[in-house]
Structure 1
């Protein structure tokens, strides 16, 4: 059996007088797609801040394969809520940015990124600027920039939250197909129940502040899922909504 890729144990975090996280524990096994789901302001993104080192926990442990998480956090590739593309850089150079930050030369970074444009549905747009692309294409470019870094785990912070409903649904299905092909280890932050059910192997539902894990849902269904119209997936979606609306039940 593969070791746990990531384990958070009894994490607590307070900002001033506000207790944000209260005794959060969860695991992200190797090769799984795991979502943290909760209402806006519940502290979901704070968990990513702890993982990326933007802030430190007040208590608890963060373990990678049973060892304390390294301070340099090179195990994570992070995709923020917005695409964060630089408007003055062409798409090819936007996609290489993460590699360049790691110290990879520009020519080598381009050689690694260019073959992936077709797989990500961006062939022919390598020399376009971000303003010339649709929202969905920009998000695919942002994900390409993230995964090409070849880090062990992807951290996705509501990556489709700013898209319109149709584009968001299209991007969710595209991501499901890509994940099935590559089997990345993913931790997704979202407040979209349907998105979590469509994409995830397991879902942690958080209460409002201070955030606690109200329930963990396992979804032993094949990927990619074409939708949530099946009775089994619909039942899980209903259970998750019930947990969000009645976290003490």
Structure 2
């Protein structure tokens, strides 16, 4: 197996008297799609806070390509919950925001983003404002803003959680197709078991707070990323749900 793109070794984190993470260890290989599942409040988003430098661990180590991850290094492209689009900026200028923050001039940023609008299903909407787009289109714009930064890894924090069930299912299948074409390295935080099974190569299930890795699941590499409902996937879903509902079994 190749060197892990990301490796967390025995991470622990507390906020005041509250222990949130306890001895978390996990890894993500280059080109792999990994999800983290757990009960609400288990500390899933805290892991992303540590990775993005918004917080620091109390113990443990974070490695990127085998090297210690410094809080000042920006190795990841992060997509938060919701689309976080700025309502006063047109879609073209929302998608270039990350590049502009990195120091790229607006015209150069637009030139990099513009060719991707068709692939993301946004062609013809470059000059629209976020309020003029559907929820799914807004999420695609937010993901475009994330991936165009060309970071080695994507961090996705429940990106489809605010969408209605039908739009969420459509976006999950769209993301599965995009991942198949581009083979991004992805770490997804989600509370949706079916979403994790549909999208992931591997899934880490966390116990309740303080969070520990209760179990790791390998999803068959030939599973149908474009669909769900096969007996194999249903069996994995059932096993994950059993782990979440009965973590001590």
TM-score when normalising by structure 1: 0.98
What displacement does 1:73 show?
A: 2.9
What's the secondary structure of 1:119's corresponding residue? Answer: coil
Matched, 1:114 2:117: no
**Deviation sequence 1:209-240 (CA, Å, 0-9, x none):** 01010000011233652322111111100000
Match of 2:172 in 1: 172
Matched, 1:197 2:197: yes
Match of 1:159 in 2: 159
Q: Distance in 2 between matches of 1:152 and 1:224?
A: 25
What displacement does 1:72 show?
A: 2.3
**Deviation sequence 1:78-114 (CA, Å, 0-9, x none):** 0000101000000000000000000001110000000
Q: Distance in 2 between matches of 1:224 and 1:177?
A: 10
1:1-249 aligned at under 5 Å gives the runs 1-222=1-222, 225-249=225-249
- Does structure 1 retain, via aligned residues, the 8 Å contact 2:154–2:185? yes
- Does structure 1 retain, via aligned residues, the 8 Å contact 2:52–2:71? no
Q: Distance in 2 between matches of 1:79 and 1:217?
A: 24
- Does structure 1 retain, via aligned residues, the 8 Å contact 2:177–2:226? no
What displacement does 1:71 show?
A: 2.8
Q: Distance in 2 between matches of 1:73 and 1:47?
A: 16
- Does structure 2 retain, via aligned residues, the 8 Å contact 1:201–1:218? yes
> Which consecutive residues of structure 2, in runs of 5 or more, have no partner in the other structure?
none
What's the secondary structure of 1:82's corresponding residue? Answer: coil
Q: Distance in 1 between matches of 2:126 and 2:93?
A: 8
**Deviation sequence 1:42-78 (CA, Å, 0-9, x none):** 1000000000000000000001122101332321000
Q: Distance in 2 between matches of 1:176 and 1:73?
A: 28
- Does structure 2 retain, via aligned residues, the 8 Å contact 1:177–1:224? no
Structure 1, 175-184 or 71-80: larger mean CA deviation: 71-80
**Deviation sequence 1:151-196 (CA, Å, 0-9, x none):** 0000000000000000000000000000000000000000000000
Aligned length: 249
